[in-house]
Chains A and B, each alone.
Chain A
């Protein structure tokens, strides 16, 4: 029940064109609860969703790859334009690029999150199915899922990390600034809680933490609680 609610929230918070691409958790759950859930129907739905994940993920990934390159070119061009001047005339362009980098990073992370949420949902729904039907569907099915394209997020993660490294070079380092920033995180987060990547990201973090807090069906297959390095940073304020 909890996950169903969580994934629903996630979907609501997600970028609009993503919303139809998630696991149909509720439907599947209803199917399981029905008097005679036919296995082939259940599996059919799962497979349909997996197809959907794969297609969406791979397509997004392709877009990211293209954009990744373009962004690099943009930066290079701007560097060439700026030359070595400390000119403030380019400040706007620099800010613009910086914003784009952050948003790009964010969107990629959200894709990884997308993959994970759907995988988690699959694992959970399979568990429910086995429980209801006393079957052994979960394990082999999950093994197959692990090989699905949408689950293989390595490339996107790699790009994410690359940009993290890159962007460190773009932001001025200032501990004092950072601290002030943290104090005002509440203001920011409430302001930023409009649409967009930021809100979606925060929602994802919250979801993850909640899901791993401990469940009634805690088992060997459950995950430990989330360990955040800076839990108060946003989560404490954004709840």
Chain B
């Protein structure tokens, strides 16, 4: 989209808007009421799920940890790095799968390529929005209790068992999950043709596995294909997940993905006004305050919006900068560590695996300096490229 010169008149502003944004040519036939400010309700279960695993109920997590020592080899991927492989290899995949799915309910493990040891990268996502129709809120209590009281059973317990109504044989699932196929390469997100624009993780071993409830990452193009399919089937009310799925013809897309997405879509379109739904708090924008201020001769709404926009833009800009810096830093660190390791093995620091050497030397280094980096600080400074960070504590004119 390119920027156009600003017009003053309302309608021209809008037509500019229409031109600059990539609005599809096909208008939406089903005349839905104006989509109110988005933010479809999160499934209450989702909230509870997180609640249990995170934040204040951290206690329960802690519980779990202590009650079952091997319960958390999620770190299987990491353990190989941290030379704890022996520890966890045995406890391996079962826990791996269960933990990774820990937060996520209907996540049959059989297709979890997540458990591939090289693969935290396509992480352990799974909270299908589809799970809302599967669990009742009070099951969570049960679930938590299970986890707290069960000990070794946790090892073999497929968490999904506890979580889903319709769980098949848990052990089998876990077993299957072990025979993972190599992680699916990251598919390009912005591919125009719908056929392969699905970035699925993980990939099912049997592609025809209809139980694949892996979390999917939607893209605008994919969504557009979805909308087209829905429209061709008579609109969001009349379209069925099955029909839409068939129409879309996207490989790897399952009915669960479509179903949950359809649900979101419907909510987004038919959502009542924000003030009517849930806590008004979250819908409050500064404009409500601004209006009052306006009467006192403050700045207008337009200006307030401008300001808000400006602040948001700045934050985004800073975030992008920060992110790039962080990436660079890690890249550099990775490079330096590699060099360091080479040095170490070159010096014949012995039969220990490479991962051991750095940690040993680090311990020494850590004792030497206060710096807690994994690389020998001296080396870091030596190897530093000229343009990389940073002047020491220079106070900028902020």
Q: Which listed residue, B102, B315, B333, touches A201 by the CB 8 Å rule? A: B315
Q: Considering the chains assembled together, what is the distance between the CA atoms of A188 and B305 in angstroms?
A: 10
Question: A170 and B390 in contact (CB under 8 A), knowing A223-B326, A234-B311?
Answer: no
User: Do A225 and B289 contact each other (CB < 8 Å), given the known contacts A100-B37, A168-B3?
Assistant: no
Query: Any chain A CB within 8 A of the CB of B293?
Result: yes
B54: interface (CB < 8 Å): yes
Interface pairs (15), CB distance under 8 Å = A20-B50, A21-B54, A45-B61, A66-B38, A73-B35, A74-B35, A77-B28, A83-B11, A90-B14, A130-B372, A169-B6, A172-B302, A188-B303, A201-B315, A233-B311
Say whether A51 faces chain B, with CB atoms less than 8 Å apart: yes
- Pairwise interchain contact A220-B303, C-beta atoms closer than 8 A: no
**Known contacts A48-B102, A67-B35, A221-B329; A168/B123 CB under 8 A:** no
Question: A30 to B50, alpha carbons, bound, how many Å?
Answer: 21
Contact A98 B305 (CB under 8 A): yes
Is B134 located at the chain interface by the 8 A CB criterion?
no
Contact B217 A226 (CB under 8 A): no
Chain B residue at minimum C-beta to C-beta distance from A129: B372
**In the complex, chain B residues 236-275 whose Cβ is within 8 Å of any chain A Cβ:** 261, 264-265, 268-269
Name the one of B61, B359, B389 contacting A223, with C-beta atoms under 8 angstroms.
B389
B86 interfacial contact with A, CB 8 Å: no
The SS class assigned to the B binding surface is helix
- Given the contacts A91-B10, A134-B362, A219 and B373 also touching, CB distance less than 8 Å: yes
| B24 cross-chain contacts in A, Cβ below 8 A | 72
Q: A113-B315, A188-B304 are in contact. Are A82 and B309 (CB under 8 A)?
A: no
Q: Is the interface of A mostly helix, strand, loop or mixed?
A: helix
B108 located at the interface, meaning its Cβ lies under 8 Å from any Cβ of chain A in the complex: no
Query: Judging by beta carbons under 8 Å apart, are A235 and B398 in contact?
Result: yes
In the complex the two chains form, is B323's CB within 8 Å of A73's CB?
Answer: no
Contact of A135 among B13, B28, B312, B359 (CB under 8 A): B359
Chain B residues with Cβ below 8 Å from A146 are 327, 330
Q: In the assembled complex, how far is the CB of residue B115 from the closest CB belonging to chain A, in whole angstroms?
A: 13
Additional pairs, 7, CB under 8 Å, beyond known A97-B14, A127-B372, A164-B309: A47-B72, A62-B261, A113-B319, A149-B125, A167-B17, A220-B329, A220-B384
Interface size on B, residues (CB 8 A): 161
Most B Cβ at <10 Å: residue of A79, A102, A136, A159: A136
Question: With A39-B84, A85-B11, A219-B377 known to touch, is A134 a contact of B366 (CB < 8 Å)?
Answer: yes
- Whether A82 and B327, one on each chain, are in contact in the complex, defined by CB atoms closer than 8 angstroms, is no
* Contact status A65-B6, CB under 8 Å: no
Chain A: CB-nearest residue to B66: A41
Which chain B residues numbered 279 to 293 have a C-beta less than 8 Å away from chain A?
279, 281-282, 284-290, 292-293
B180 within 8 A of A: no
Whether B21 lies near A166 (C-beta < 8 A) is: yes
* Chain A contact residue count (CB 8 A cutoff): 157
Report the minimal beta-carbon distance from A75 to chain B, rounded to whole angstroms: 5
CB distance from B31 to the nearest CB of A (A): 9
- A223 x B322 contact (CB < 8 A): yes
Q: CA separation between A52 and B74, bound complex, in Å? A: 14
Q: Which of B14, B54, B87, B304 contacts A82 (CB 8 A)?
A: B14
CA distance A41 to B87 in the complex (A): 13
Question: Does B121 lie at the interface of the complex (its beta carbon under 8 Å from any beta carbon of A)?
Answer: yes
CB-CB under 8 A from B72, the residues of chain A are 40-41, 43-44, 47
CB pair B38 A148 closer than 8 Å: no
CB distance from B354 to the nearest CB of A (A): 11
Contact B124 A54 (CB under 8 A): yes
Contacts of B121 in A (CB 8 A): 144, 147-148
* Residues of A close to B358: CB separation below 8 A: 136
Chain B, range 12-53, C-beta contacts under 8 Å to A:
12-24, 27-28, 34-35, 37-40, 42, 46-47, 50-51, 53
B325 with A137: CB separation less than 8 A:
no
A173 at interface by CB-CB < 8 Å: yes
Please determine whether A171 and B326 come into contact, CB atoms closer than 8 angstroms: no
Residue from B4, B314, B395 having most chain A Cβ neighbours under 10 A: B314
Closest CB pairs A-B (n = 6): A192-B286, A67-B38, A147-B121, A131-B372, A44-B72, A169-B16
Using known A-B contacts A17-B282, A52-B54, A223-B322, determine if residue A78 contacts B14 with beta carbons closer than 8 Å. yes
